[in-house]
Chains A and B, each alone.
Chain A
Amino acid sequence: MAKRKPASTKKTTASTRQAKQDACQQTLCDKLQTLLEKSDTETKIIKLLLALDESERRKLFPVCQKNYRVTHADQWTEDPPGTFRQNQLLSPAKVAVFCTANFTELKKLGRWSAPQPQYVLQILEHRKPKWCGSYVEQLIEQGQFWSHWKLCRELVRRGLCKKPDHPRYYTGMITGLVGRWSRGKTDALRELRKDPALLKDEIWRLFEHEGEGDNTLANVDRWEASNWSGALVTLAQEGKLSRGKLLDASLTALELGFNHYRARWFFNFFDRLEPTNPELRKRSTQILELMDSPTPNVAQWAFEHQHRMFKAGLINDTSKIITASAPLLGGRHKKTVTQVLKLFDALATKSPQFAHEICLTTTEALSHEKPDVQRSAFKLIQKHGSPNEPSLREQIEKYEAVVSATVAQQMKAWLGVNADEQETEANAIAKQQAASSLPIKASDIGKFDVKDAERLRLPILLGSLSTTTTSIHSTPDVAGITGVTDFAGITGIPANLFDGTEIPRLDPQRKLKPIGGFDELIETLGRVIENDNLIDDAERAVDGLVRYHTEKPADFDKRIGPIFKRAVKLSQKKAAPFSGQNTTGDICGLIIAWTRGEPVTSEIILNEWNHERRHIHGLFDEPFEALMQTANPMMFLSQRMLDICNILVTNQVTQLLSAPTHEGGWIDANLLVERINHLKISPPETDVILAMLRVAPDGRGTAIKKLKPKLKGEWINALKHGLGADRIRIGESAALWAAAARCRAPRQDDTRVRQAFSKLDLEVGKVAKFDVSFKNEPRYRAVTGLPLMAPVNFPTQMLYYNFDPASSLSHHDIGTTAGSIHWLASMWPADREIFFAAGINCIGSNLDWWEAAWHNRCFLEPLLDHDTPLLEMGKTLLLCGLAAKEPGEYGLAVDIAIQAITDGRLGTDNLKEMLEVGFGSGHFNLQRLAKRLDDIATTSELHAYVIMLSTESALPTVNTNKLPRGLGDVFEMLSEIGTRIGRAIEQPSSRSLLTGIKGSGKAAKAAKQLQKLEFEYNPHRCIAAAVENRFERLKEWSARK
């Protein structure tokens, strides 16, 4: 029995031991600390710490953690000054942490706490922690997981953890085995030979997983030095990998529905293995099944192999081939469908017993979007099928509704439906009915303004209507009503003739309701600072601010609090006030000024690098540095807001002259005069200028009579001159009078104003003219002699100069958001030609969408308004929109064209001019253009007729020596429309162009097909529809008056 030590002795021994341990620990700590304070001590630290047992190491963790945190916080050192390098003590700190931490602690410290892989391996091999598997899983979960693959693999290989059951363990090998940036140093073959165990399992798992991001076999083989494909082929040749298994694995991978780019590697690899005929025969079923793959290139590859196997006699089961190929007929890829049709043709010829099955399967291709594919499919059916087979007949009838007009016609003929006769009969009845009851008569038009009727070309159309009623071939009207002379005796549908200044523009439906009180003002301000697209509401809010800014309730600070706070935040982070960007920033500025009540001023200063900077004073305690914009129209709009800002701080109730009364920026002249008559303080010049640019042409005569201002000044005279008053003395402010001249006659030179300011280099009073040419990109050349920059108060001149090629301004200066473009569009609604020119510049130079400019589409939007005239720039912009690649742009252009043909702004004459530019410039993709024109033509017979006649009339501009690409599509489009409405190409010049096209290309084939159309067409119904639509416009204009 052992002798027991007395309790006091035990205690003493324990304390002594503890003291010894503490001393020992302290010594260790000191040693460690010494090592941690030096660089390149990783090996020494490992030696020191791994010599301890696990519990001793763990005790040192707090010291290591503290040291790591301090070092990590200071991980970049500046030595010498200006050069930053990583702290050399960081690596020893990481090593120390890794030697002492458990898994939870490591996770807390983050992924960057891990030392270099060789140290990790050394430490883990010694420590053999239970958490090694979890650590590997954590590495695999990280972003660039493949960079840790070698470490994970080594840990698995050395038996420190199990093989992780995670796809990333396998896919990480794709990049991880060789590593990035190792071109020329090593490759996959060399690495696989170093670790042959990988060939047992890991290598086969690569065929089961797609990979992620750029870590895929397809990507790595393309861009890195690995050459996985070559390595596997070599190993198969050497007999180290089973060739048969590789072939099977590739086909199985293709079944998994990988992305097309990634799937390509697998079928290319299959081909690289060069399978023999017996090998292919063995796998023929699997290959045939791949034709149903959702990945188009896999299906195409499978089809090509099927074709090869069929030719080589490896597959003889025709029924199997038909069933397997069927899914391809429903695809979008034209080439594949055509190839399948060719194969089917060969099969049906070789084995007539399968002809019925083939024809039934082929009907699927009738739903293809391309008429030539539909034609080929139907040709095959015609050749091998019989219309007496009920099932085939039923299938064909199902597709009749969606095939192109030319194919539908062939179908009807084949099925024995005498469609033409029925149609002709129906047409004749309809024509007779239409003839007996003309919708509108000349006497109906007499009740309205004759000039308006002439603008809508109604007398001409009625003349044409009476002519086409009596005869199929129209003849020019002898009673002086012509208008179709451009079409070689063919009745055209001319476009309306108005420039927008002579018709009433104020739509009562679009009248704006002014803000009714403080509550509504706060609510509207809150909304408009969140959305810069609400231009009409923004203008209402600004108008409301000017009218109600003095009516501050007792709890004003509380009420304004939320939007003031938001305005401050937005101004500082998102929308800088008064910097010509959008309404949001400027209205934020107004809210801040209103709340603070301090005057706001703008100042341009030079910074330390001698660059100009705009400083806004009064919004915040410190001057606010706003974006420095060159003078552009948006800056003018912001300048006006800045002027309004100073009205708010004066606490004087007044009325804005430039606040729109109707949507789109329009101001009713009579309401403007009322505002002027009630005005007690003179308005800022920017307000007057904008008011003049926004005033509508309606009722200006009566407005001048009502004008009885209490105030006097040059601006009153300018306004009078702008509204049309005569003999007004021209004043001194060029900016005011430039606006007055544009207000008076937007598209005419104002001689008096021009003469008055002839000494200035600003061409005040002169109207802008454009010269559009399409070369590499659209360019606008302004008339010569104009300066390249204009002061901020000349918005119209600035818009104009903006597009001079020599100008330093770019379209970016007029806004890069939808909201800014909408705001700009509201600046001068009476003449949007300059605005449209800006649109041509933006859309025309981005037709193929090389730049994602989502806002550009907004340039097209004003053209939707049926009162916006389609003048030169408008037409060209519409053409650009139709030829654009981006669905939003072309979709809107198609909507506009449909609308414009309906309301008469687009007729056979101006559409012809538009298309002449399209066909002759070489700038536009004719294939796209043809598709859009076809889309427009499907709307109604009127649209189809206008499109067809305009297109055929524009054809002679085509350069026959070098036919433009896509002309075949234009001819096909004409064939389709012609067949649909029963009209042939009638113009002799167009027919001779078609005859002159020789060869066997698509254009030549389509031209021949187009020439084959033989119809006699009477455009009576189209003209009647046009008359009806335009009569509605006439009634609307009359109602507005």
Chain B
Amino acid sequence: MSQASEERIFRYRSASQLDCDGDGSVLRLATYREGKDTNPFFFQGRLNTPRRAAGLLRSLMTVVKSRFHIPPAMLERILAEADPVVTANDDRLRFEGFSACCGVYARIDLLNNAFEGSPSGRGTTNVDFNQPMLTALASIKQTDNVSLAIGSDQVVLKRTADQVIEKKVKLPIRWMKGFVEVQTVQSRMQPVHQIDGIHALRFFRSMPRMKTHRRTTHVIRTGKGLRLSQVKSKDAVQVGGLERLRVLEPLSRNAEKLVVYSDATTGASGWTLIFPDCRFHVILSPEVWRGFSGEGQALQSLASANDAALPKVQAALRWQSIINRDELANTEKLVIASINAALKTLGTRGLVGFDLAEQAYFHREMPFDISQVEKLQPRLKAARKLINDNNIQLKRQTEDQFEFAVAGSGVEHRVVIQPGAETPSRCTCPWHNKHGLERGPCKHILAAQIAIEESKTGT
């Protein structure tokens, strides 16, 4: 289990709860932040559409508490008790989380017209969502007066005196890795379909009730709506395990639009329901049994040597809700490409997230030690070990091609790196033969790439 989770103690000063007072209800989300933070709450406001917000939060928790794929040797009881992460930026609140299997990432963006109130601070925290809280959320009506307070409210503190509620959270390592990976996947996604909410409702209702986890289905446009197809075609969005989209069905009833995104490299898809004052994103991994944590899309960025642009871009992060790349290019005197690369790297370090609807990054700092993430990547660790043990040899080098011999177990693998080619890297190992580059590079290719970078930087 030490590999599967990192045990951390989160001390919530109170449990999350929905309190009723004379004027209305106050939704208090107990939070946790590391460090000596004397003012652990940073947002308090009243929800304009409480019923919808409550519905979205319940849907997010449906995703977080679901395991769409249970590996044979894994018992249901090890369902991770993971709490969503909330970020307050300048003008919006973001709640995000993963399903227990790490194959679905969900995020709510509450825009500034979703609440009345202003943030008293900016930050990222874990939110405690307990069963009574979910039950309370279910009972919220549209006409209710509900305030959202992120952080321990003084009233609650007074009532609970000095009581500290300790909750042991086994923060799954897969979650941490997933947060890192999903940013890379999202940044590559392109919008493919956009339909009205009512057509989205019709589409979700037409989906088969049988589990389709063993099939890859494609979603194509038909008239004003969408339909399922078994044939891969142009503008078809690949979806594995349609049952994972069911969470969107009840929400789509009041949505204005549905936008569907696709990542051509991995086949992951993004689904965004747009409401007047908020958005709900669901990112699906290409197959049910593939969690984002194991995708390896961020490996290359994690392995890459620090670029000169990286510290500048990192220094420019000021809890922006949208990072304007053009503006950053002007102020920091950098080219867009290097800013993109730097943001991608920062995404792998948990410092920025990607907003599909805005097609832009936003600043947030994960409430866990992201420096651990690199150590938790077995492929990256193995690649570094190959280099440290001198198990990689450059055999041939031309202008556009590097050929390495990398020692495997009892055999020697041949790695060819051809930057700019249709297949930029190849290896003779079974892993690469099986997955190609769809699930990130194998350890041999990664080692070769690190070796090339090191030779360039002279380290």
Contacts and interface: CB of A to CB of B under 8 A. Distances in A.
Contacts of A854: 214-215
Contact of B433 (A527, A565, A857, A885): A527
Contacts, number: 106
A895 B199 contact: no
Interface string B405-416: 100101111100
B65 to A, nearest CB: 10
A935 B220 CA distance: 13
B436 to A, nearest CB: 8
A566 B223 contact: no
B199 A887 contact: no
A562 B205 contact: no
Contacts of A143: 75
Nearest to A292: B138
A886 B211 CA distance: 9
Interface string A118-130: 0000000000000
Contacts of B169: none
A398 B198 contact: yes
Given A530-B433, A562-B413, A565-B410, A289 B217 contact: no
A529 B433 contact: yes
A401 B197 CA distance: 11
A652 to B, nearest CB: 27
A402 interface: yes
B250 interface: yes
Interface string B212-254: 1011010000111101111100000000001000000010010
Interface in B76-100: 76-77
A330 B215 contact: no
Interface residues of B, number: 47
Contacts of B202: 367, 369, 402
Contacts of A935: 227
Contacts of A714: none
Contacts of B432: 526
Given A255-B138, A367-B253, A939-B222, A401 B410 contact: no
B250 A256 contact: no
B201 interface: yes
B365 interface: no
A522 B428 contact: yes
B230 A888 contact: yes
B430 A886 contact: no
B144 interface: no
B426 to A, nearest CB: 6
Contacts of B412: 558, 561-562
A364 B205 CA distance: 13
B433 to A, nearest CB: 4
Contacts of B206: 369
B163 interface: no
Contacts of B414: 559, 562
A330 B134 CA distance: 21
Contact of A566 (B210, B215, B225, B430): B430
A530 B426 contact: no
Contacts of A849: 210
A892 B231 contact: yes
A28 interface: no
A289 B139 contact: yes
Interface string B387-427: 00000000000000000010010111110000000000010
Contacts of B230: 857, 888, 891-892, 895
A562 B135 contact: no
Interface in A229-276: 255-257
B231 to A, nearest CB: 5
A367 B214 contact: no
B212 A888 contact: yes
A212 B76 CA distance: 8
Contact of A864 (B76, B231, B433): B231
A432 B250 CA distance: 45
B256 to A, nearest CB: 11
Contact of A402 (B198, B208, B227, B411): B198
Interface string A363-384: 0100111000000000000000
Interface in A349-372: 364, 367-369
A797 to B, nearest CB: 32
Contacts of A565: 410-411
Contacts of A289: 139
Given A143-B75, A887-B215, A892-B231, A367 B201 contact: yes
Contacts of B411: 558, 561-562, 565
Contacts of A330: 250, 253
B222 A891 contact: no
Nearest to B429: A562
A213 B414 CA distance: 49
A891 B199 contact: no
B198 A526 contact: no
Interface in A893-940: 895, 935, 938-939
Interface string B125-156: 00000010011001100000000000000000
B434 interface: yes
B250 A531 contact: no
A563 interface: yes
Nearest to A403: B202
A935 B225 CA distance: 13
Contact of A401 (B196, B208, B210, B428): B196
Contact of A891 (B217, B253, B405, B428): B217
Contacts of B413: 562
Nearest to A255: B135
Contact of B210 (A257, A332, A526, A887): A887
Interface in A505-524: 522-523
Interface in B7-45: none
Nearest to B231: A895
Contacts of B434: 530-531
Nearest to A531: B434
Nearest to B416: A519
A399 interface: yes
Nearest to B200: A402
B210 A886 contact: yes
B430 to A, nearest CB: 5
A401 B138 contact: no
Contacts of B223: 938
Nearest to A210: B131
Contact of B229 (A369, A562, A885, A895): A895
B76 A213 contact: yes
A888 B215 contact: yes
Nearest to B436: A527
B75 to A, nearest CB: 7
Contacts of B408: 562
Contact of A367 (B196, B205, B227, B405): B205
Nearest to A860: B230
Interface in B271-322: none
Interface string A841-873: 000000001001010010000001000000000
Nearest to B229: A895
A367 B198 contact: yes
Nearest to B206: A369
25 contacts: A212-B77, A257-B138, A367-B205, A369-B202, A398-B198, A401-B198, A401-B224, A402-B198, A402-B225, A522-B428, A526-B428, A526-B433, A531-B434, A562-B408, A562-B411, A562-B413, A562-B428, A565-B411, A888-B217, A891-B208, A891-B217, A891-B228, A895-B230, A895-B231, A938-B223
Given A561-B410, A566-B433, A895-B231, 7 more contacts: A255-B135, A364-B253, A367-B253, A402-B202, A526-B430, A562-B412, A938-B223
Interface of B: 75-77, 131, 134-135, 138-139, 196, 198-199, 201-202, 205-206, 208, 210, 212, 214-215, 217, 222-225, 227-231, 242, 250, 253, 405, 408, 410-414, 426, 428-430, 432-434
Closest 9 CB pairs of A and B: A887-B208, A561-B411, A526-B433, A892-B230, A530-B434, A888-B215, A891-B230, A562-B428, A402-B202
